[in-house]
Amino acid sequence: MSRLRATTHFRQLLAAPQILQMPCCHDGLSARILEQAGFEAIAAAGYGLSGSLLGAPDIGLLSASEMLQAYGRICQAVAIPVFVDLDTGFGDVNNVIRAVREAERAGAAALFIEDQTYPKRCGHMAGKQVVPVEEFLPKLRAALWAREDPDLVITARTDAAGVLGLDEALRRARLYAEAGADLVFVEALESEAAMRSANQLLAELGTPSMANLIEGGRTPLLTAEALQEMGYAVVAHPCGSVFTAAQALQDWARHLRLHGTSAGFEGRMLDFERYALLVGLDTIRARQAGFRGPASGDQ
């Protein structure tokens, strides 16, 4: 039996009545951990990648090649669909076309592009700017045209709410939905009332809506159930993996520096055997043994 394509699987999850809860990973290891936790899909975005690859904030420092190569490794590490971040598309419509096709070849099941100026920054940071609608719409049309797999989900994100106000964000959401976006993502809404307004508009247009929740960010940290009641089809958690990893490493480093040994910290970390199990060493060894064949002395 042929395996369901990741793009087709993601579309099924998007259309399901239950909200799709989608944590973000920041590398292949965190992707595997999230998959093993039972999530049906995960995301990978610039925030976590900037921290993991560069030790830097999400302010547009990563190149398209760096992001796409990371996405390829993440997609290879898991069997579930991966939703990826293409920032502003890395240039004009020609750059968008290339980025979409490279993301598709990397194995992405879904992606988003946003209407910020370049270089962009995390949508929950101060000081961001957006391009005119007339500059973004051609990019969105190019992304929709570029996909070779019709099931690849193309998401349009607007950051206008924090720059030009809610009314302009809703106007853009309408235009992006009418242009054919499969999913619309109104970023950094600061109240439940604003979130309800965005969902009401998109529901009228028949376009699914996405929420994005950051610990300490601008949007209220609501439960998946509350977001589903508002009308959201997807909720992303973009920073939890890298925030958690950073805290755990700080704790371990502090203990090691203070005590000169990791003894006493074992209960807060995996040991050698449990880590090997996490990364699938037993499966790899079994596969390796299967290729050896009978020994010459047995023939």
Report the candidate in 286, 247, 277, 253 with the shortest Cα–Cα distance to residue 33: 277
Domain count along the chain: 1
Residue 292 lies in a domain: no
Please compute, for residue 208, the number of CA atoms within 13 A of its CA located in the half-sphere on the CB side.
22
Give how far the C-alpha of residue 77 lies from the chain's centroid of Cα atoms, to the nearest Å: 15
Residue 294 lies in a domain: no
Secondary structure (3-state) at 221: coil
Distances (CA, A) of 191 to 19, 88, 217: 20, 25, 12
Secondary structure (3-state) at 240: helix
Tens place of pLDDT per residue across the chain (299 aa): 457 899 999 999 999 999 999 999 999 999 999 999 999 999 999 999 999 999 999 999 999 999 999 999 999 999 999 999 999 999 999 999 999 999 999 999 999 999 999 999 999 989 899 999 999 999 999 999 999 999 999 999 999 999 999 999 999 999 999 999 999 999 999 999 999 999 999 999 999 999 999 999 999 999 999 999 999 999 999 999 999 999 999 999 999 999 999 999 999 999 999 999 999 999 999 999 999 877 654 44
Residue 259 lies in a domain: no
Q: Which residues pair with 112 in a beta bridge?
A: 85, 155
- The answer to whether 165 and 171 have CB atoms below 8 angstroms apart is no
Reading the block at residue 239, the tokens are 């920073």
- The answer to whether 52 and 73 have CB atoms below 8 angstroms apart is no
Residue 276 lies in a domain: no
Report the candidate in 197, 205, 201, 208 with the shortest Cα–Cα distance to residue 232: 208
Residue 142's domain spans which residues?
7-245
Residue 267 lies in a domain: no
Give how far the C-alpha of residue 281 lies from the chain's centroid of Cα atoms, to the nearest Å: 27
CATH of the domain at 195: 3.20.20.60
Secondary structure (3-state) at 181: coil
Burial of residue 101 (number of CB atoms within 10 Å: 0-12, 13-18, 19+)? middle
Secondary structure (3-state) at 124: coil
- The C-alpha atoms of residue 36 and residue 38 are separated, in whole angstroms, by 5
Reading the block at residue 74, the tokens are 């993440």
pLDDT of residue 292: 87
Q: How many CB atoms are located within 10 Å of the residue 208 CB?
A: 23
Residue 64 lies in a domain: yes
Angle between helices 28-36 and 240-259 (to 10 degrees): 110
Reading the block at residue 178, the tokens are 């009418």
Residue 54 lies in a domain: yes
- The C-alpha atoms of residue 256 and residue 236 are separated, in whole angstroms, by 34
What values do phi and psi take at 5, rounded to 5? -60, 145
Residue 274 lies in a domain: no
- The answer to whether 154 and 140 have CB atoms below 8 angstroms apart is yes
